[in-house]
Amino acid sequence: MVDITDDKVWKNMFKFSLPLIGIGVVGFLLVLIDLFWLTRLLPGVEVISSFRVSMASVSFIESIIVGVVTGVGVLFTQYYGAKKYKEAQDIFNGGMISLLVFGVVASIIGILLLPVIVSLFGISSEAKVLSKDYLLIFFIGYIIIIVQTYLFYMARNMGNSLSVLKGLIFMVLLNTVFTPLLIYLFEFLGWGGMKGAASSTVLSHLLGGIYMFYLFRKMFHTYDIKIQLLSWKKMNKALMKKSIPQAIAQTINSISFNLSMFLVIIVLSYYDDTIFIAITSGLYVIYIFNQVILNFATGLIPFIGQNIGAGKWENIRKVIKVTFLSVGAMSVFSAIVIFFTKPYALYFITNDQQIILLASQFLNYYLIPWILSMLTMVAIFTVSGSGDYKGSLLLIVWNMYISALIPLIVIPRLLSNTEVGVWIAYSTSAILAFIFSYSYLWIGKWKKVDLINYNSEQHEKLGEKAYDAG
């Protein structure tokens, strides 16, 4: 476990964030395992589009729970950084109860709206059937997945990223073995291979969640923090009431983010099928690098939160600087690797030569703007870690709606070559998001947020003085 409020910022950031890079790779493998086995064991290119639609749909429904987790996590992190362990305990247990309730609701909503969700996409009827099969099992076991996600997220906020990495490796090994076996079993029983792949995912998350539960009991024992599924009457209502605005705001932010991605995919699905599949394939090539860099950058969220709680603004200035430089270097290196290896990487996803050619063309246009999109996340995670939920919402509205959807709808219709128009639109979105995000970060409203009553006047003065000194 890393004490991320210690003044050795560079050392602690890398010690904490390097396992997060591993988490990015392993998290990608969890998705890739399903996609790999499905494209090998089930016939037809519809498997790729149906899997992409399934993941987009899951992300949208999941956004309700992710918002609760994020809102609770920001408050938990700042209390934990301030060494107020009793309050951190109450926030953790209250968040778990809320998560269980909302998780059941999300599962029911997902199952009931399944036909409507799939019908929104302009994909083939066969792909829609495959998507329904995958999503049905996923939503049935969704409460398992979100509890496991909550435990992993809170362990990371405490500074224990290495244990999260170990848990994910355990899940990948399980999923690697279970996925082909369950695909074959479900095909043999006539239930459909997509249901088998989804069942493997749920089972792996169940066993990973059990691992994290026992790990949490051990970590919490050090600080005399207890995991308790309390009744509503025994909850710390004052603290939970304090967390409600954060949870609601972060839920809105999360829904907005996932709704935007959902809408982007809907827009893309109504262009030519080859364009949709080409972008999907190209983004999967980027995905592993994307996840590695993003997971490194997410180390900012607990760093910012805990150091705000501890009142260490100089540490915040240093960690933003080191993260920006590191993300920039990793993004440039990744773009070079992707550029020279894309034909081979794309062949791993599909053997359709037309799709490989179009996806390569898309990547040629998008790689440099993608570097900017990675740097944009440094600004977004800084604002999120500070608890500035209004700023986070503003960034999402601009980055995920205005700059993402408008170019994608308008630009392809202005050019005679629709394919090139889509590539340019995707790139334009990343550039606009970069400009707006750093403009907001420079304004500095996020430095004035005080969630735990650190001492509002002193908090703002120290934040401005220490941060601006750098």
Rounded CA separation 251/71 (Å): 8
- Residue 458 pLDDT grade (very low, low, confident, very high; cuts 50, 70, 90): very low
Query: Where is mean pLDDT largest: 152-161, 185-194, 283-292, 296-305?
Result: 185-194
DSSP-derived secondary structure letter, 398: I
Please state which of the ranges 290-304, 313-327, 396-410 shows the lowest mean pLDDT: 290-304
Give pLDDT, residue 235: 61
Tokens of 366: 């998008």
Structure tokens at 374: 């990675």
Give per-residue pLDDT as tens, 386-412. 878 788 878 888 888 888 889 989 998
Catalogue the E-assigned strands of 73-222: none
Q: For the chain, what percentages of helix, strand and coil (3-state, to nearest 5) are there?
A: 85, 0, 15
Contact 423, 268 (CB under 8 A): no
Query: Are 35 and 287 a contacting pair, CB within 8 Å?
Result: no
Cα 328 versus chain centre, distance: 19
Q: What pLDDT score was predicted for residue 367?
A: 93
Chain mean pLDDT for the chain: 80
Q: Looking at per-residue confidence, does 375 or 282 come out higher?
A: 375
Angstrom distances, CA of residue 346 to CA of 176, 287, 371, 419: 21, 12, 20, 18
pLDDT tens-digit series, residues 200-219: 888 988 998 888 887 777 76
Q: Residue 378's CB: how many other CB atoms inside 10 A?
A: 23
Which of 32, 44, 37, 61 lies closest to 138, judged by CA?
61
The band of 468, judged by pLDDT with boundaries at 50, 70 and 90, is very low
Enter the tokens of residue 202. 């749920």
* Two tokens, residue 8: 């050795």
Closest CA to 367 of 404, 340, 344, 348: 340
Per-residue confidence (pLDDT) for residue 456, from 0 to 100: 44
Highest mean pLDDT among 201-210, 283-292, 423-432: 423-432
Band (pLDDT 50/70/90 cuts) for residue 123 is confident
- The stretch 425-446 carries a mean pLDDT of 91
What would the DSSP string read from start to end of 95-138? HHHHHHHHHHHHHHHHHHTHHHHHHTS---HHHHHHHHHHHHHH
Lowest mean pLDDT among 235-244, 380-389, 429-438: 235-244
Q: What are the DSSP calls for 405-440, one per residue?
A: HHHHHHHHHHSS-HHHHHHHHHHHHHHHHHHHHHHH
Instruction: Kindly list the distances between the CA atom of residue 368 and the CA atoms of 277, 362, 396, in Å, as whole numbers in the listed order.
Output: 21, 12, 21
- Average pLDDT over every residue of 460-470: 44
Query: Average pLDDT of 52-65?
Result: 70
CA dihedral 392, 395, 397, 403 (to 10 degrees): -160
Label residue 460 by pLDDT band (50, 70, 90).
very low
The whole-number average pLDDT for the span 220-238 is: 60
> Averaged over 20-28, what is the pLDDT?
74
Between vectors from CA 375 to CA 303 and to CA 324, what angle results, nearest 5°?
50
Q: Which distant-in-sequence residues (6+ apart) come within 8 Å of 357 by Cβ?
A: none
Q: How many CA atoms lie within 13 A of 85 on its CB side?
A: 10
Cβ burial 29-61 (10 Å sphere, 16+ → b, else e): bbbbbbbbbbbebbeebbbbbbbbbbbbbbbbb
